[in-house]
Amino acid sequence: MSRWLLILLLALLSGCAAMSKVGPGEVTVRDSLSVTLDDAWNQYSLGATAKTETWTIDGLPLDRLVFYVGIADGEALGEMSQRKDRQIPKYRTTMQAHEIVEMYEVLATSDGSSFQRQKLAPVPFAGGDGFRFEFSRVRKGDELEMRGIGYGAVRGSKLYLVVFEAPRSHYYARHLSRVEDVAKSVRIRN
Alpha carbons 87 and 166: distance in angstroms, whole number = 25
Kind and range of the H or E run holding 181 = helix 171-185
Alpha carbons 186 and 78: distance in angstroms, whole number = 21
Q: Closest by alpha carbon to 161, among 110, 97, 73, 90?
A: 97
Q: Closest by alpha carbon to 61, among 114, 9, 118?
A: 9
**Predicted TM-score (pTM) above 0.75:** yes
Q: Are 126 and 155 contacting, i.e. CB atoms less than 8 angstroms apart?
A: yes
Alpha carbons 159 and 76: distance in angstroms, whole number = 10
Q: Closest by alpha carbon to 130, among 91, 107, 162?
A: 162
Alpha carbons 153 and 122: distance in angstroms, whole number = 10
Amino acid letter, 50: A
pLDDT on residue 79 = 75
pLDDT in tens, the chain (190 residues): 455 444 444 444 444 557 788 889 899 999 899 999 999 999 987 655 679 999 999 998 899 999 999 999 999 998 765 556 667 889 999 999 999 999 999 999 988 899 999 999 999 999 999 999 999 999 988 999 999 999 999 999 999 999 999 999 889 999 999 999 999 999 998 7
Give the pairing of strands 145-155 and 158-167.
antiparallel
Phi, psi for 165 (deg, rounded to 5)? -145, 140
DSSP 124-165: EETTEEEEEEEEEEE-TTT--EEEEEEEEEEETTEEEEEEEE
